[in-house]
Amino acid sequence: MTTAVRLGVRPFAGRIKGRSATIRFWRSLLGAGSRCLRPDPRVSVEPIIDPCVEDPGVKRAVRGEWLRSPGRSTGQGAILYLHGGGYAICSPRTHRVITARLAMDTGLPVLVPDYRLAPEHPFPAAFEDCLDAYRLLLARGVPAEHIIVAGDSSGGHLATALTAEACRTGLPSPGGVVLFSPWVDLTGELAMASEMRRHDPYIDPAVATRFGRLYVGAGDWTDPRLSLLTCPSEELPPFLIQVGGIEVLRAEAEALAEVLDEAGSPFDLQIWPGQMHVFQIFNRMLPEADEAMREAGRFIREVVGVDSVTEAA
- The catalytic site residues sit at 153, 247, 277
Give φ, ψ of 264 to 5 degrees. Answer: 80, 20
Give φ, ψ of 111 to 5 degrees. Answer: -100, 125
Q: Which among 95, 82, 260 has a CA at the least distance from the CA of 179?
A: 82
User: CA 198 → CA 6, 69, 192, distances in Å?
Assistant: 11, 40, 10
Q: Which among 129, 236, 115, 262 has a CA at the least distance from the CA of 176?
A: 236
What's the rounded Cα separation, in Å, for the pair 130 and 112?
9
CA R_g for the chain: 18
Residue 38 DSSP label: P
CB 111 within 8 A of CB 102: no
Q: How far apart are the first and last CA of the chain?
A: 21
Q: Which among 184, 152, 179 has a CA at the least distance from the CA of 84?
A: 152
CB 67 within 8 A of CB 112: yes
What's the rounded Cα separation, in Å, for the pair 282 and 263?
33
Sheet with 110-113, edge to edge strand ranges: 44-50, 62-68, 110-113, 78-82, 147-152, 176-180, 239-244, 267-272
